[in-house]
Each structure stands twice: as structure tokens, then as C-alpha cells.
Amino acid sequence: METQLLHEHENNEKSLCHLKDNGKKFSRHCNIVLSLMYQGRKLTARQLEREFNIDGRRLRDIYANRKECKREWTYNAEGGTNEMQYWLDIPKPPTKDDLQQWFREYQEEQGQVISIYKYQQQDLFQ
């Protein structure tokens, strides 16, 4: 899954050359960061730079290009803002109980209430 860069050109010549020279590396870094986020990790720019040697700008690129990417400020002990944290908000697959509840509600809406049998283990040798 290829993540495109946020922009194709810069506002000055030096930055534009840097973007053209390193565009593939930036895209590769975006893919690495995305794979970390798909593992369920919440990342900050400082964490990326220290642990993975990737510029924190890649988080902002992903946030701008992926609607499932969310962010919020983290707070320190005094209640002041500390740093921005990014993660992917991916829906979890439904459990069996969720599906049973949905089916019951669907039956009630349709006017067809069919009881779902629940078997209980009986102790025959009392």
C-alpha cells in the first residue's frame, strides 16, 4: 500500500531539490510508519525520531492522506499539552455476541422473533 506524499512541490528551490532527491525515501518511511500504526501502535513524532530514525513529518503526511488516521494531544502531569499522538482508528471485527445481538434486533424489526436456543450443560450423575 503506497502512501503518496502530501505535496509535489515546495515553495523554494532548495526544498524542492531535497523533495525530489528524497521522495522515494519519504514514501518508504510513510509505509514503515503505516505498518507500525496498523499493528495498533500510537506514535508521536519524538518516538519516531528516537526509536526508528524517521522524521516526524511522516506522521503529518499520513494524517493528511488517510481518513482513518486520528490524532490528539497528550497531557503531562500538570495538565499542559505535551505532544501530538497519532494512531489508526480501524474498526474491529464483530464478535459472536455482537452478531447474535444484531440478529435479534433485526428479527424484532422484521416482526419475526425466532428464539435462538441456548444449550446448557446438565449434570446427569447427581
User: CA torsion angle for 23, 28, 32, 33 (degrees, to 10)?
Assistant: 10
Q: Is 53 left (phi over 0), alpha (psi -120 to 50) or beta?
A: left
Q: Where are the domains of the chain?
A: 13-88
Please answer whether residues 66 and 31 qualify as being in contact, where contact means their C-beta atoms are separated by less than 8 angstroms. no
Residue 82 has pLDDT above 90, yes or no: no
Q: Which of the four pLDDT bands, split at 50, 70 and 90, describes residue 51?
A: very high
Check residue 85 and give its pLDDT.
93
* Third-level CATH fold of 13-88: Arc Repressor Mutant, subunit A (1.10.10)
pLDDT tens digits along 4-19: 555 566 778 887 887 7
Q: What mean pLDDT do residues 25-31 have?
A: 84
Q: Which of the four pLDDT bands, split at 50, 70 and 90, describes residue 118?
A: low
What's the whole-model pTM score?
Answer: 0.61
pLDDT tens digits along 97-106: 888 888 888 8
